[in-house]
Amino acid sequence: MEIIENLKWRYATKKFDASKKVSSDDLQKLKEVVQLSVSSYGLQLYKVLIIENSEIREQLKPVSWNQNQITDASHLFVFCNYIDATSEAIDDFIKQTAKTRNLDLERLKGYGDFIKEKLNEKTPEEKTSWLKAQTYLALGNLLNACAELKIDACPMEGFEPEAYSKILGLNELGLNASVIATIGYRHVEDYTKGQLKVRKPMDVLFKTI
């Protein structure tokens, strides 16, 4: 499987070569991969901001633990979950499903009501956790696709979501910055690029029952 070799190749890149940029063709492929990501009920209750603007990234760096990847990488992906799973968002999904599959909207009403009922059973804390978890499914796809294209990436939780929300105007959009990732190409001086992966042995990680 090529994916195994690709995953052995990738690592969380700490120093990017700021002079190298991801091509528009490869960026489009990455966007399509994220678009095709699995999500609960297929709702995709998130939006992905791709930040190229250097001035905005300079503003984001101090609230990202001053990590150089924010400004040196080719692109910064900000995965933002919806703050709430509204009835309107679910209705939009049902309408899109009916249109895409050429189905009668009334036939899908019961499925939409089922989704709303299940989400309403969650506490506010459970719903927030669930919404944020959806973005990690998309993040995983992005990282795997980057590895296949030999584009370096670094998933990052070291940032201040509230500050991101203020700088990017996320609250007004009903969004929350959940997790970020920088992509680009490793610098020859990146001290982490030659380090061996540290992973649990198979017999420790897995248990067949």
155-185 pLDDT, tens digit each: 999 999 999 999 999 999 999 999 999 999 9
Dist. CA 4–CA 115, nearest whole Å: 36
Dist. CA 140–CA 155, nearest whole Å: 9
Q: What is the mean pLDDT of residues 146-160?
A: 98
- Mean pLDDT across the chain: 98
Superfamily of domain 2-86+123-205: NADH Oxidase (3.40.109.10)
CB 105 within 8 A of CB 95: yes
Q: What is the mean pLDDT of residues 10-30?
A: 98
Dist. CA 51–CA 76, nearest whole Å: 5
Residue 105 has pLDDT above 90, yes or no: yes
Q: How many residues does the chain have?
A: 209
How do beta strands 175-184 and 75-82 pair?
A: antiparallel
> Above pLDDT 90, what percent of the chain?
99
What is the CB neighbour count within 10 angstroms for residue 183?
A: 26
Helix (H) or strand (E) holding 9: helix 2-9
- The pLDDT-based confidence of 1 (bands split at 50, 70, 90) is confident
In tens, the pLDDT along 32-87 reads: 999 999 999 999 999 999 999 999 999 999 999 999 999 999 999 999 999 999 99
